[in-house]
Amino acid sequence: MNKKILSLMVFGFVLFGAAFASAQPTEETIFSVNVLETEISISVPDRIVFNDIAAGYLSEDQGFELINSGTTDIRVTPSLNESYNGAIFKNLKFDTVKTNPEMTRIGVFNVEVSRPNIPGGEKNQQMYAWLDLTQYSEEINKTMENHEATVLFTATQQ
pLDDT at 31: 97
Closest listed residue to residue 82, CA positions, set 3, 5, 151: 151
HEC string of 67-110 equals EECCCCCEEEEEEECCCCCCCHHHHEEEECCCCCCCCEECCCCC
Is the per-residue pLDDT at 5 higher than 80? no
**What predicted TM-score, i.e. pTM, was given to this entire model?**
0.80
Given pLDDT bands bounded at 50, 70 and 90, which one contains residue 23?
low
Given pLDDT bands bounded at 50, 70 and 90, which one contains residue 46?
very high
pLDDT at 24: 79
Given pLDDT bands bounded at 50, 70 and 90, which one contains residue 20?
low
Is the per-residue pLDDT at 14 higher than 70? no
Is the per-residue pLDDT at 18 higher than 80? no
pLDDT at 8: 61
pLDDT at 32: 97
**Contacts (Cβ under 8 Å, ≥6 apart) of 78:** 92, 94, 106, 107, 109, 151, 152, 153, 154
Burial of 130 (0-12, 13-18, 19+ CB in 10 A): buried
| H helices present in 1-150, as ranges | 2-22
- Give the pLDDT confidence of 80-127 residue by residue, as tens digits: 999 999 999 999 999 999 999 999 999 999 999 999 999 999 999 999
Is the per-residue pLDDT at 11 higher than 70? no
Between CA 14 and CA 96 the distance in angstroms is 71
Cα 42 from chain centre: 7
Backbone angles phi, psi at 113, to 5 degrees: -125, 125
Domains and CATH numbers, the chain: 42-139+149-157 (2.60.40)
Percent of the chain with pLDDT over 90: 84
- Give the pLDDT confidence of 47-85 residue by residue, as tens digits: 999 999 999 999 999 999 999 999 999 999 999 999 999
Between CA 137 and CA 30 the distance in angstroms is 70
Between CA 59 and CA 39 the distance in angstroms is 35
Between CA 54 and CA 56 the distance in angstroms is 6
